[in-house]
Amino acid sequence: MAKNDIKILMAKDGIENSHQIDVAMKHGAYSALKKALKMENTAITSEVKTSGVRGRGGAGFPAGIKWGFMPIGDRKKKPNYVVVNADESEPGTFKDRWLIEKDPHMLIEGIIITSYAVEAHVAYIYIRGEYYKQALILEKAIEEAYAKGFLGKNILGSGFDLELTVHRGAGAYICGEETALLNSLEGRRGYPRIKPPYFPAAIGVFMCPTLVNNVETIANVPWIIENGGEAFSEIGKPNNTGTKLLSVSGHVNLPGVYEVPLGLNLMTLINDYCGGIRDGHKLKAVIPGGSSMPVLKAEECDVDMDFDALKNAGSSLGSGGVIVMDETTCMVDVCLNLLKFYAHESCGQCTPCREGMPWMARMLQRIKSGEGRPEDIELVLNVADYVGGDIDFSRGKLGKTICALGEAGSWPTIALIKKYRDEFEHFCKNHEPLIKRDKSIKTPKNAIAEVVAT
């Protein structure tokens, strides 16, 4: 991991045993907590609002505004809860894993400060089932925090109590969606709830007000309290403040997790941070924000990596999972791979998603098997319109399903076909791919995530 000039989240990168409390404390862990517990809880929320930090789980909703929805003081009629979303199941995304493995105490400190701010006395970390090792790391770190008096009753003599528990999911993408996550946490099937009325801050876990934030969002909180919201807001770009963890996978020489100021140019990320495209190949495309986001063609990649710039470019920063593809990549393969994933992960609650995702996947499989018909391309686009529509509203309409999994499968499908239609047409007409995979090329050994294209 190189070139990280500003380190908020990866400040302990390279420090041996940084996951252990004594090591973490030597490097400043829990000092923000001591400061926070002396502040009014509303002042903490104000700092988070001033920082401008936007949610790092995908939608980019301003965290301070969300915290402000929680009923506190006289408005509090039921217990409040804090739930940290560590589901991280979006293909291409592995940055929360880095934080949990390397700096679990920064996350725990962030959770305690957050809970104090929103008057919650019980908090959960909901972690995906596959993150078994990471769940153990968190459990051990929580045990250490209890032993030091940072969790439990009367934290550091402040009168504030907090119980923190790790809850493991069973390995379902849908349980990253916040209301499905809450159902799963309650022991129910992971079906998303209808919003409204089930906005978590109003009706969340156990029907009580619940703040749900991503791991990375919460991990920023100690730094914001220590240094002030103003200092945070000066990093990055207006409306896109702070740094962002980007997990880069695919055809670059140095895949990995990088902390960059929001607004870093995508080509700078690829060339200067990630060592360029493997074996001197040419860049073909990038999915900039996890597999559910529309692909950018190489000529569209001179773009800033932030919420607004990527939205203007017709894609999204999403979860910060950057999937880089070189010119050996067959886009029909990519599309099939993605659709198989979304078909498998559809929870089945909404008909368009339950029926549409497998239907699209079957059509792509047919094309890939050399039995595609020219009319299949329009049919896939048509089904995608009915399932989730396009990110720029140009096809179909959004919101046909209870949660955004419908969009998650449709957006990348429509973008891949719109931008690489010649490859789909060639396959249907000639019954073989336009781009044949070069099996002699090896993916770099330190590639962490499987690239969707291979």
Ligand X SMILES: Cc1cc2nc3c(=O)[nH]c(=O)nc-3n(C[C@H](O)[C@H](O)[C@H](O)COP(=O)(O)O)c2cc1C
Residues forming contacts to ligand X in the complex (CB under 6 A) are 55-59, 61, 85, 87-90, 174, 176-178, 212-214, 217, 403-405, 408
**At closest approach, how far in Å is the CB of 26 from ligand X?**
29
- How far apart are alpha carbons 254 and 248 in whole angstroms? 8
Residue with tokens 């044949």: 436
- The CA-atom distances, in angstroms, between 68 and each of 59, 63, 123, 244, 417 are 17, 9, 17, 23, 41
Whether the Cβ atoms of residue 357 and residue 416 lie closer than 8 Å to each other: no
Give 277 or 357: the residue with its C-beta nearer to ligand X: 357
Residue 305: partners with Cβ closer than 8 Å, 6 or more residues away: 244, 246, 260, 262, 263, 264, 265, 266, 269, 288, 317, 322
CA distance 202 to 181: 16
Q: Which is nearer to ligand X, 190 or 276 (CB)?
A: 190
Q: How far is the CB of 85 from ligand X (least distance, A)?
A: 4
Task: For residue 289, report the phi and psi dihedrals to the nearest 5 degrees.
Answer: -140, 40
Task: Select 317 or 367, whichever has its Cβ closest to ligand X.
Answer: 317
Query: In angstroms, what is the minimal distance from the CB of 173 to ligand X?
Result: 6
Nearer to ligand X by C-beta: 56 or 251?
56
Dist. CA 65–CA 52, nearest whole Å:
9
Distances (CA, A) of 438 to 133, 185, 201, 391, 435: 35, 45, 50, 32, 9
Q: Counting beta carbons within 10 angstroms of the beta carbon of residue 38, is it exposed (0 to 12), middle (13 to 18) or buried (19 or more)?
A: exposed
State both tokens at 101. Answer: 């493995």
CA distance 41 to 22: 27
Q: Which amino acid is it at 180?
A: A
At closest approach, how far in Å is the CB of 311 from ligand X? Answer: 15
In angstroms, what is the minimal distance from the CB of 345 to ligand X? 8
With respect to ligand X, which residue has the nearer C-beta, 214 or 328? 214
Tokens of 385: 């319109």
Q: How remote is the C-alpha of 280 from its chain's centroid?
A: 30
Q: How far is the CB of 384 from ligand X (least distance, A)?
A: 16
Q: What distances in angstroms separate CA 343 from CA 5, 8, 131, 349, 360, one per listed residue?
A: 40, 37, 22, 13, 8
Kindly tell me which of 144 and 407 has the beta carbon lying closer to ligand X.
407
Whole-number minimum distance, CB 126 to ligand X, in Å? 9
- Of 47 and 90, the one with the shorter C-beta distance to ligand X is 90
Tell me the chain's radius of gyration from C-alpha atoms.
22
HSE of 388, CA atoms in CB hemisphere, 13 A: 29
The minimum distance between CB 198 and ligand X, in angstroms, equals: 12
Q: Considering beta carbons, is residue 386 or 424 the nearer one to ligand X?
A: 386
47 with 171: CB under 8 angstroms? Answer: no
Minimum CB separation of residue 62 from ligand X in Å reads: 9
To ligand X, the closest distance from the beta carbon of 235 in angstroms equals: 18
Nearer to ligand X by Cβ, of 200 and 261: the residue is 200
**Element (DSSP H or E) covering residue 446:** none
Q: Which CB sits closer to ligand X, 83 or 283?
A: 83
